[in-house]
Structure 1
Amino acid sequence: MATEAFEAIVEDFEFLEDWEDRYRMVIEMGKDMAPMDDALKVPATKVDGCASQVWIHPEVKEGRFDFQGDSDAMIVRGLIALLHTLYSGLPPAEAAQVDAKAELTRLGLEENLSSQRSNGLRAMIQRLKESSAAAAT
């Protein structure tokens, strides 16, 4: 159920042989992501459970789920960019059904992230799942 853009990332990851190259790719994705408006970095958009500062501001535009996100850690910003590719542009009901853990497993992330980063990633996924489900109702 992944977007075409996410499938392209999966294909790119298959060509990268070691985690360091994949890690660099994730960081580059974070660098390329549009910056989040500082006015949206408020307690309501802060994601609890992350080792670093993380903000996610979900929204529905023209019937499609989208969100802005940011972090003070480059790798986490890259993870946000990955999640953005996975969720954005889907109808809210479809976004709520995305199995992000399964999709990200295809990239080999879980075995290469620290436990703190994995916990933060789960917190971000939970925020997106709840937000898209609320938007679908």
Structure 2
Amino acid sequence: MAKPVNDIQQEIIDEFGILEGDREMTNFYIMELGQKLTPLNESFKTDEYIVKGCQSKVWLHAHMEDGKVFFEADSNTAITKGLVSLLVRVYSGQTPEDIINTELYFPSEIGMDRFIGTQRSNGFAAMIKQMKLYAIALKSQKESI
């Protein structure tokens, strides 16, 4: 069973708190997180799965299992791959309702805007939006069965 979204957000806040706002260490840690992301099947690295609004290429795939949404993702840049890995960690294994209704507060708590520029912030918001759209679509598919 997946941990509640807010518990996962708190874990992320605690992990980043250890870095004490050191920009270089934070960026390195984000890239390290991306390296731990489960490799995305090459069949999902197509235009159909690209997140619109990201400067880097980000591929995002979602599927539903036992009423929970699971995400897989990849990016062509290390820092963006790390950022999407944080979202996969928070949202994967949650119900569509939890994904749709949860407001993410960990980015502001860890001061993410200090570490990533405006372009990446816009891309991060686009990733969140796409994950919520997937949750809505999967929820409506489930309800129509």
TM-score normalised according to structure 2 size: 0.87
Moved over 6 A (4+): none
Deviations along 1:84-132, one digit per CA (max 9) or x if unpaired, are: 11111111111111213x2321121123211111111111111011111
Answering whether residue 128 of structure 2 is matched by residue 125 of structure 1, we say yes
User: Aligned with 2:69: secondary structure?
Assistant: strand
In structure 2, C-alpha distance between the alignment counterparts of 1:136 and 1:104, rounded to whole Å: 26
Aligned residues between the structures:
136
What is the identity, as a one-letter code, of the residue corresponding to 1:99? Answer: E
**Which 5+ residue runs of structure 1 have no aligned equivalent?**
none
- Give the direction of change, closer, same or farther, for the CA distance of 1:103–1:136 in structure 2 (3 Å limit): farther
In structure 1, C-alpha distance between the alignment counterparts of 2:69 and 2:108, rounded to whole Å: 22
Using the TM superposition, name which of 74-83 and 54-63 deviates more: 54-63
Answering whether residue 23 of structure 2 is matched by residue 50 of structure 1, we say no
Answering whether residue 42 of structure 2 is matched by residue 38 of structure 1, we say yes
**Which 5+ residue runs of structure 2 have no aligned equivalent?**
141-145
Instruction: Give yes or no for contact 1:46–1:53 (8 Å, CA) kept in 2.
Output: yes
Deviation at 1:3, TM superposition (A): 4.6
2:143 alignment partner in structure 1: none
Deviations along 1:12-60, one digit per CA (max 9) or x if unpaired, are: 1111121221211111110011110111111110111111111101111
1:16 alignment partner in structure 2: 19
Using the TM superposition, name which of 110-119 and 24-33 deviates more: 110-119
Task: Mark the structure with the bigger radius of gyration.
Answer: 2
Query: How large is the Cα RMSD of the aligned pairs?
Result: 1.4
Identity of aligned residues (%): 30
TM-score normalised according to structure 1 size: 0.91
- TM alignment of 1:89-104, pairs within 5 A: 89-100=93-104, 102-104=105-107
Deviation at 1:76, TM superposition (A): 0.3
Instruction: Give yes or no for contact 2:5–2:94 (8 Å, CA) kept in 1.
Output: no
In structure 1, C-alpha distance between the alignment counterparts of 2:134 and 2:36, rounded to whole Å: 24
